[in-house]
Amino acid sequence: MPETKDLVILGSGPGGYVAAIKAGQLGLDVAVVERDPKFGGTCLHRGCIPTKALLHTAGLLDEIRHSKAFGVKVAGVELDLDKTRAYKKKVVDKNARGIEFLFKKNNVEGVHGTGRVASTGEVVVELADGGKRSILARNILIATGSVPREVSIAPTDGRRIVNSDHLLELPEMPEKMVVVGSGAVGSEFASIYRSFGSEVTLVEMLPRILPLEDEEISGELLKQFGKRGIECLTGTRLAGVDDSGDRLSVRLETAETEGAAPSEIAADMLLVAIGRAPVTGGLGLEALGVEMDRGYLKVDEWMRTSVENIYAIGDVVPTPWLAHVASAEGILAVEHMSGAAARPLDYDRVPSVTYCEPEVASVGLSEEQAKERGHEVAVGKFPFAASGKAAIEGKTAGFVKVVRETRYDELLGVHVIGPRATDLIAEACVALQLESTTEELFRTIHAHPTLSEALAEAAHAATGHAIHI
C-alpha cells in the first residue's frame, strides 16, 4: 500500500530543500526526491557555491599580486589548479552534508531517484538503487531547476566548447578563452579566468554587458573589465565555430557586418553562457493539464500551477533565475498550502548580484525603469574613489547609485559596482522592504570608516546635498 505524504518535492536545490525544511517546521510530513547522488541541486554542486569558491581563489591571486602596494612583499605567486579544485570540492561537500543534517533535524525524508507525477495525488520514483516507489501526496511541489541552454551552432562537447557545468571540472587552463553571453554567469567566468591568467574575450549580442543592470553600471563594468585586459565585444553575435583545427575558430558578426564574411577569433576554449532552460520535460505534467509556456510552468501569486495542489518554484517558472528567489518562492508555496500566513513576493525587491571583479549588485528599479513607469526621478552617485575605507583596501573602482522619486522621496532602487557590492546591497534590500525614503537612508548613521558609508553618501547626493564629493 503506497504511503501518503502531506508534500512531495521534486528537486533539492535552494528552492526544494528550503521549502522542505519550512514544511517540516510547519508540521508537514514531507519527502524530497532528488536524482543526483547528493542533495543541493545545481546551485550547490554546479552553480552558486563552486563558482564563488573559484572567485575567492581568483580574488586572492589578484590581491597577492598587488600586495607590494600595501607593504607586503611576496616572492612569486602561481595558481595550483588541483588544490583549487580540492578546496572547491571541500566547500561543496560540507554544504551538502549540512543539507542532510537539516533534513534530519526537521523530519524531512530524502529520496534518491527520478520522480514523475503519475496523477494529481501520486508521485512515482525510479529509485537510484533500481527499485520503484509510489508516494501518495496531498500536495506536490516542482523544483527541478534548470540546465545550461545550448546553442545549435556551437554544441558543447565538454572539452573545448563548454558550458558552466563543464568549466568547473576542466583539468587545464585555456590560454585563450571566448565567453559568449555577458550575464552573471558569463561575466563571472570571464573574471575568474582572467585572474587565473587566461586571455579572455567576452561577446554580448545586446548593446551592453550585464544588460539587465542599470545602464551606468554596465558602462562602468565595461570600463573596469577593459582595464583588467578583458576584451568586450557588444552588439556582436556568435555566427559559428570551426573545431577542426588545433585551436577553435570562433566566428563573430555584428549588425554592420551581417551578410559579410564573419570575423574570426582563434581560441582554446569557448564558453557558452547564454542562459538556462527549465527542467520540466518527462515529469508527466502535460498529461495532467498543467499549463506551460515555452517549457515554463504557469503559476499564480501563491506559486500554484493550473492544477490546484501542484505548485512550482525556481527556474521552472518565469521568474528571475536566482537561488534566493527560488528559496523565497519555496517558503511562500509551503506557507500557502499549509494554511499559514503567506504574502506574495514583490519581484521589484529581488536583489541581483554578480561576483565578478569589481562586484555588481542592485535592488529595485533602475533609472531607466523608474522613468518608464512614470516616476519623476532624481539620482545620486558616490564614487568609491572618495571612500576612505575603499582607499585603505586599495579598491576604489566603481560607485553607488541611488534612484529616488521626487514627490514623496520614495527610494526606488540602489545600484552598486565596486568592493563588497554583493554584501552592501543587503542594506538597500531592507530599506526597500520597509518602504524607506531616501532621507531615512541618509539619516541612518553609518559607521566610519566603512564601505557602507557610500550608500548614505549616494542618498545625500540624490537629494542634492552630497557631503564628501
Tens digit of pLDDT for each residue in 14-69?
Answer: 999 999 999 999 999 999 999 999 999 999 999 999 999 999 999 999 999 999 99
Q: What is the pLDDT of residue 172?
A: 85
Quick check: 128 and 115 in contact, CB under 8 A?
no
Q: What is the pLDDT of residue 169?
A: 85
pLDDT band at 259 (very low <50, low <70, confident <90, very high): low
* Percent of the chain surpassing pLDDT 70: 99
Mean pLDDT of the region 324-342: 97
Mean pLDDT of the region 345-357: 97
Helix axes 48-65, 184-196, angle to 10 degrees: 40
Quick check: 41 and 17 in contact, CB under 8 A?
yes
- Enter the DSSP assignment of 305: -
Residue-wise pLDDT tens digits, 83-120: 999 999 999 999 999 999 999 999 999 999 999 999 99
DSSP string, 189-239: HHHHHHHHT-EEEEE-SSSSSSTTS-HHHHHHHHHHHHHTT-EEE-SEEEE
Domains assigned to the chain: 3-148+277-347 (3.50.50.60), 161-274 (3.50.50.60), 358-462 (3.30.390.30)
pLDDT band at 207 (very low <50, low <70, confident <90, very high): very high
pLDDT band at 260 (very low <50, low <70, confident <90, very high): low
Q: What is the pLDDT of residue 1?
A: 62
pLDDT at 262 over 90: no
Q: What is the pLDDT of residue 156?
A: 95
What are the grid coordinates assigned to 217, written together? 553600471
What is the rounded CA–CA span in Å between residue 68 and residue 397? 19
| Model confidence, pTM | 0.95
* Percent of the chain surpassing pLDDT 90: 95
Residue-wise pLDDT tens digits, 153-202: 999 999 999 999 999 887 789 999 999 999 999 999 999 999 999 999 99
What are the grid coordinates assigned to 288, written together? 495532467
- The catalytic residues are 448
pLDDT band at 261 (very low <50, low <70, confident <90, very high): low
Please, is 244 exposed, middle or buried when counting C-beta atoms within 10 Å of its C-beta (0-12, 13-18, 19+)? exposed
What is the rounded CA–CA span in Å between residue 230 and residue 245? 25
What is the rounded CA–CA span in Å between residue 388 and residue 396? 9
